């Protein structure tokens, strides 16, 4: 980040020891199978009938009553947040950029970049993505926000005091502008194994058309968006066979992607907490964290906000889905309008605080 906060704050790190992978339904680990069922395949390939489409529309109408639009509820949300410290957290894929066939071309629009830039002028803003931190920065190209890659396992945050529990995961760095920051990487001891996994996966899947192995530094993404349905089982077998050789890793699943991650107690929710703590807001009663994301991995952050009974968890979805989010936005276009409205609200509000 171009301008680091230099507040001295206490930070209690809640890291737990690394454990072997296990099937935990609450964490939605995919230890049994990664193959979509028939109905999932129909959705992936857009094979729904008119009746199903109509039913989906009715279902969404019912769903949005439980998770109302953050645009329609904006005034009520901001009235409750007035005079408090808003901190903005954003996912990237499916939130700031549309989901695309080629993950390497998930570019955000100039208008979206402008909206994020405006929000970051008024509120501390962080992007928490499953992508590598460097990859997300190459897409966003803004130095005024914080970045957390690999689902929060690679965080660039403000400088904070080193504590005995997390000192080994932190590294002081200086950016190109000469500003100090703190790299927090709780899974760095897994890097050699991750490189091995990537090499083996690339070899095993080289004959499967459409598969893409993405190195996200502290996790590995296997994109199957362009894989033919008849190759799903083969892909599953290959990924599971590789995982058997690495018991300290587990599988999770996102939108048309399978991910291999180190089995540590760390996710986007922990990343949100870590960033709030480094900003000095960990125990602040008047902070309002606002998290916008579209993926099941974002649910970990939503759960943290619900547990805190603070802030606004916002899901990005045009279809009904199980979520802990309180509010919703349909797509990245609505996200952009929400961010623009948030920045405009701050400009017009003399009583809201600017956090420098």
Q: What is the DSSP letter of 347?
A: H
- pLDDT score of 157: 83
What gap in Å lies between CA 69 and CA 86, rounded to an integer? 19
Which fold would CATH assign to domain 66-187+265-348?
Rossmann fold (3.40.50)
- pLDDT score of 55: 60
Between 141 and 38, whose confidence is greater? 141
For the stretch 228-287, pLDDT in tens is 999 989 998 999 999 999 999 999 987 788 999 999 999 999 999 999 999 999 889 999
The secondary structure of the chain in percent helix, strand, coil, rounded to multiples of 5, reads: 40, 20, 40
The encoded tokens of residue 2 equal 């171009």
Residue among 232, 148, 212, 225 at smallest CA distance from 185:
148
Residue among 145, 163, 165 at smallest CA distance from 155:
145
Percent of the chain with pLDDT over 90: 67
**Residues recorded for the chain:** 356
What gap in Å lies between CA 303 and CA 300, rounded to an integer? 5
Q: Are 70 and 312 in contact (CB under 8 A)?
A: yes
C-alpha radius of gyration, the chain, whole number: 20
Degrees to nearest 5, angle at CA 44 with 42 and 50: 50
Q: What mean pLDDT comes out for the span 206-221?
A: 96
For the stretch 279-309, pLDDT in tens is 999 889 999 999 999 999 999 999 999 999 9
Q: Which numeric CATH code is attached to 26-36+189-262?
A: 3.30.70.1020
- pLDDT score of 236: 87
pLDDT band at 52 (very low <50, low <70, confident <90, very high): low
On the question of pLDDT at 31 being above 70, the answer is: no
Q: What mean pLDDT comes out for the span 46-55?
A: 52
Mean residue pLDDT of the chain comes to 84
The encoded tokens of residue 64 equal 């949005």
How far is CA 1 from each of CA 124, 133, 142, 259, 273, rounded to the nearest angstrom?
11, 12, 8, 27, 18
- No. of helices (H) and no. of strands (E), the chain: 10, 13
Domain ranges of the chain: 26-36+189-262, 66-187+265-348
Half-sphere exposure of 279 (CA within 13 A, CB side): 29
Q: What mean pLDDT comes out for the span 140-169?
A: 84
On the question of pLDDT at 162 being above 70, the answer is: no
pLDDT band at 2 (very low <50, low <70, confident <90, very high): very low
Three-state secondary-structure class, residue 52: helix
Which of 17-31, 141-155, 323-337 has the weakest average pLDDT?
A: 17-31
What gap in Å lies between CA 156 and CA 126, rounded to an integer? 9
What gap in Å lies between CA 248 and CA 271, rounded to an integer? 21
Residue among 99, 102, 79, 66 at smallest CA distance from 226:
102
What gap in Å lies between CA 15 and CA 12, rounded to an integer? 9
């Amino acid at each position: 980040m171009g301008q680091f906060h230099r507040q001295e704050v206490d930070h209690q790190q809640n890291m737990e020891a690394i454990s072997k992978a296990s099937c935990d339904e609450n964490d939605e680990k995919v230890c049994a199978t990664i193959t979509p069922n028939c109905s999932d395949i129909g959705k992936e390939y857009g094979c729904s009938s008119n009746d199903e489409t109509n039913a989906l529309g009715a279902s969404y109408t019912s769903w949005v009553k439980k998770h109302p639009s953050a645009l329609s509820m904006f005034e009520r949300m901001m009235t409750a947040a007035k005079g408090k410290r808003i901190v903005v957290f954003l996912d990237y894929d499916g939130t700031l950029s549309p989901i695309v066939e080629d993950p390497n071309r998930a570019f955000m629009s100039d208008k979206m970049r402008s909206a994020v830039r405006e929000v970051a002028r008024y509120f501390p803003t962080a992007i928490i993505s499953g992508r590598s931190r460097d990859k997300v920065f190459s897409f966003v190209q803004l130095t005024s926000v914080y970045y957390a890659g690999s689902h929060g396992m690679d965080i660039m945050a403000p400088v904070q005091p080193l504590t005995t529990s997390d000192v080994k995961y932190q590294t002081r760095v200086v950016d190109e502008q000469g500003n100090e920051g703190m790299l927090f990487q709780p899974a760095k001891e897994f890097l050699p194994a991750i490189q091995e996994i990537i090499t083996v996966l690339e070899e095993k899947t080289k004959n499967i058309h459409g598969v893409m192995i993405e190195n996200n530094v502290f996790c590995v993404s296997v994109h199957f968006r362009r894989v033919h349905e008849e190759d799903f089982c083969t892909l599953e077998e290959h990924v599971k066979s590789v995982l058997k050789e690495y018991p300290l890793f587990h599988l999770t699943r996102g939108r048309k992607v399978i991910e291999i991650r180190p089995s540590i107690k760390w996710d986007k929710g922990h990343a949100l907490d870590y960033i709030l703590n480094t900003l000095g807001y960990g125990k602040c009663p008047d902070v309002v964290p606002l998290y916008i994301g579209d993926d099941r991995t974002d649910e970990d952050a939503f759960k943290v906000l619900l547990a805190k009974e603070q802030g606004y968890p916002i899901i990005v979805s045009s279809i009904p889905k199980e979520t802990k989010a309180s509010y919703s936005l349909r797509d990245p276009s609505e996200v952009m309008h929400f961010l623009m409205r948030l920045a405009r609200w701050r400009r017009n509000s003399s009583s809201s605080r600017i956090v420098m």
